């Protein structure tokens, strides 16, 4: 699986958009970008994933650059409950992959 | 509620004890996983089961013994653990057609004394 690079921590004011960057310059053509988050003392939670196109769901938006070497997770209106560690993971989601490899992620603190 | 249930949520055991962690998923998934999360370290994948067959064992010491009787249940049997094995143990599951979409349980906090 390709390696990802994320800033260790970020702050965001409550109600503002949180933009979390991720670099994955060695991503290959069949690898997807997945985002998970882990609220303190809980299991990780899936947020969103994409291959080439930008994606949006009820939780967040995912913007992937045209060369696919980086992406940004956007939480449009951050709340205090969005304080968590956010993980960007690149993986081949096809058969035989079997595993997600978590890095250290970005610790997002939403400030009142 | 993620559909993946782990018990117990908290466990304290001595180094000579034998205990087990249990995981059950109600999602109809075929793959199940054990992850370990130690303080200030990334999640580490321990074991992977696909249709009850173990497909991954990431160099985990034999004092950790997994068991997967069917696609819905996964156990982690613990014996003669060390204090450094104290950690959050997370169970997860996924559907074989989309391995990246993984559902995690709340975890079992293990303290070895």
pLDDT in tens, A41-79: 899 999 999 999 899 999 999 999 999 999 999 999 999
Residue A25: how many other CB atoms lie within 10 Å: 12
What residues in B contact A98, CB-CB < 8 Å?
31, 48, 50, 55-56, 99
| Confidence check: pLDDT of A11 > 70 | yes
Nearest-angstrom CA–CA distance, A107 and B16: 37
> In the predicted model, what is the mean pLDDT of residues A90-108?
79
Round the CA-based radius of gyration of chain A to a whole number and report it.
13
What residues in B contact A94, CB-CB < 8 Å?
99
Write out residues 42-61 of B within 8 Å (CB-CB) of A: 42-43, 45, 48, 50, 55-56
* ∠ CA A107-A110-B3, rounded to 5°: 70
Supply B106's token pair. 């709340």
Which residues in chain B land under pLDDT 50? Answer: none
Supply A73's token pair. 């997770």
Return the number of CB contacts < 8 Å for A and B: 61
Q: What is the predicted pLDDT for the residue at A76?
A: 97
Q: Let me know if A20 is exposed, middle or buried by CB neighbors in 10 A (0-12, 13-18, 19+).
A: buried
């Amino acid at each position: 699986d390709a390696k990802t690079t994320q800033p260790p921590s970020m702050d965001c004011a409550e109600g503002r958009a949180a933009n979390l960057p991720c670099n994955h310059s060695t991503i290959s053509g069949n690898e997807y970008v997945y985002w998970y988050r882990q609220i303190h003392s809980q299991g990780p939670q899936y947020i969103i994933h994409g291959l080439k196109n930008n994606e949006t769901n009820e939780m967040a938006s995912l913007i992937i650059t045209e060369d696919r070497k980086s992406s940004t997770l956007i939480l449009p209106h951050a709340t205090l409950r969005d304080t968590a560690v956010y993980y960007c993971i690149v993986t081949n989601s096809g058969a035989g992959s079997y595993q997600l490899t978590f890095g250290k992620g970005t610790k997002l603190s939403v400030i009142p | 509620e993620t559909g993946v249930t782990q018990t117990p949520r908290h466990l304290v055991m001595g180094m000579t004890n034998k205990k087990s962690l249990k995981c059950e998923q109600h999602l109809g998934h075929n793959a199940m996983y054990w992850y370990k999360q130690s303080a200030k370290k990334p999640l580490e994948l321990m074991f992977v089961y696909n249709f009850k067959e173990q497909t991954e064992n990431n160099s985990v010491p034999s004092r950790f013994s997994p068991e997967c009787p069917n696609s819905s249940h996964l156990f982690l049997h613990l014996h003669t653990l060390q204090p450094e094995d104290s950690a959050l143990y997370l169970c997860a599951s996924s559907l074989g057609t989309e391995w990246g979409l993984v559902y995690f349980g709340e975890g079992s906090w293990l303290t070895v004394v």
